[in-house]
């Protein structure tokens, strides 16, 4: 009986850690849309920002991995898989997202990223043979409906002026969904920081042809203090921290659950706006937020941590 209770408590503790990790990721990403837009393209162009982002994160991950993990890739076949993860999960993902965000408005980008969980379910059913359980699909659709309703009052519109940026952000959503599914088997084999390290080391080389020209144009001396803080937030928070936490969550949960947490981003954005006095929390918005939480709960219920 004691052993059974201990196993149950351990599983619950692991589940809680996964949800906390995904919540932190959603909180950081929720702020990224607006903060990144403050930096580019006025101070740093999109591809140069990606180069800075990847290189800084790679250095940080290399340091922490060298000190605390020290794990190596044991199977030569996994290098190909890591290359695919680096291309889709780091380089292409970031290039399309930041270029798209520079050509559209933050609210559009946030709305379009809601496509990610839908594509995660599709890719997971194809590559991981996950069953399209009614409860899981219903949870994703419920969370999506709540997110759209919550953001319906925001000032977003799709038109020819933002069309190219909107297309790029949508491509990013599809690419990121594929990465979440494709990286799942690797997370079962290696430590999350090991996967993240090699993805960023490979990515730091692949991104050079895209970002080098724009990188040489950066006027570092012209940056106000707050822009430096924004860059630190993006490179350390929205890159190093989120990728490590996402890799950890993928190790213990399904890609569907990880992807569904994207629907919490508008919730957190709303809460932040309320606390900063830029919005008011009405009864209607509270209902929409509860709908999102219900959807995430349903997905979580059918994708317990392992």
- Judged against a pLDDT cut of 90, whether residue 41 lies above it is answered with no
pLDDT at residue number 209: 95
Mean per-residue pLDDT over the chain, rounded: 83
276 band by pLDDT with thresholds 50, 70 and 90: low
Domain assignment present for residue 9? The answer is no
Q: What is the pLDDT of residues 249-271, one digit of tens each?
A: 888 888 877 877 887 777 777 77
- Judged against a pLDDT cut of 50, whether residue 198 lies above it is answered with yes
pLDDT at residue number 2: 47
Give pTM, 2 decimals: 0.78
Over residues 23-50, mean pLDDT: 85
pLDDT at residue number 104: 80
What is the number of structural domains in the chain? 1
Output 63-66 pairs: Cβ under 8 A, ≥24 positions apart. Answer: 64/193, 65/193, 65/194, 65/197
Domain assignment present for residue 12? The answer is no
Tell me the DSSP string of the chain.
-HHHHHHHHHHHHHHHHHHHHHHHHHHHHHHHHHHHHHHTTTTS-HHHHHHHHHHHHHHHHHHHIIIII------TTHHHHHHHHIIIIIIHHHHHHHHHHHHS-HHHHHHHGGGHHHHHHHHHHHHS-----HHHHHHHHHHHHHHHHHHTTS-----TTTHHHHHHHHHHHHHHHHHHHHTHHHHHHS-HHHHHHHHHHHHHHHTHHHHHHHHHT--GGG--HHHHHHHHIIIIIIIIIHHHHHHHHHHHS-HHHHHHGGGGHHHHHHHHHHHTTSS---HHHHHHHHHHHHHHHHHHHTS---
Percent of the chain at pLDDT exceeding 90: 29
- Judged against a pLDDT cut of 60, whether residue 6 lies above it is answered with no
Domain assignment present for residue 152? The answer is yes
Domain assignment present for residue 206? The answer is yes
Distance CA 64, CA 70 (A): 9
Can you give the residue range of the structural domain that contains 182?
17-301
Domain assignment present for residue 296? The answer is yes
Over residues 123-128, mean pLDDT: 86
Domain assignment present for residue 1? The answer is no
Domain assignment present for residue 72? The answer is yes
- Judged against a pLDDT cut of 60, whether residue 155 lies above it is answered with no
pLDDT at residue number 278: 60
């Amino acid at each position: 009986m004691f052993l059974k209770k201990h196993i149950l408590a351990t599983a619950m503790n692991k589940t809680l850690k996964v949800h906390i990790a995904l919540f932190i990721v959603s909180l950081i990403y929720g702020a990224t849309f607006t903060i990144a837009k403050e930096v580019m393209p006025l101070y740093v162009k999109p591809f140069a920002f990606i180069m800075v982002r990847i290189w800084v994160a790679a250095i940080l991950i290399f340091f922490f991995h060298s000190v605390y993990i020290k794990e190596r890739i044991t199977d030569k076949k996994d290098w190909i898989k890591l290359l695919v993860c680096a291309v889709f999960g780091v380089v292409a993902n970031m290039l399309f997202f930041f270029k798209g965000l520079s050509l559209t408005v933050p609210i559009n980008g946030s709305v379009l990223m809601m496509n990610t969980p839908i594509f995660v379910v599709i890719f997971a059913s194809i590559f991981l043979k996950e069953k399209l359980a009614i409860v899981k699909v219903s949870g994703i659709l419920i969370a999506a409906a709540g997110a759209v309703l919550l953001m319906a009052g925001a000032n977003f519109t799709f038109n020819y002026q933002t069309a190219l940026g909107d297309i790029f952000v949508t491509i990013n959503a599809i690419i990121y969904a594929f990465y979440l599914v494709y990286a799942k088997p690797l997370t079962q084999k290696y430590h999350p920081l090991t996967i993240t390290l090699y993805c960023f080391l490979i990515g730091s080389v692949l991104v050079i042809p895209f970002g080098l020209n724009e990188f040489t144009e950066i006027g570092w001396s012209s940056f106000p203090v707050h822009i430096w803080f924004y860059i630190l937030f993006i490179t350390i928070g929205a890159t190093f921290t989120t990728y490590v936490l996402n890799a950890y969550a993928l190790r213990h949960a399904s890609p569907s659950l990880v992807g569904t947490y994207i629907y919490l981003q508008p919730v957190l954005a709303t809460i932040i706006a309320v606390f900063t006095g830029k919005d008011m929390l009405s009864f209607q918005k509270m209902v929409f937020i509860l709908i999102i939480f219900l959807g995430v709960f349903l997905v979580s219920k059918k994708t317990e941590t392992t």
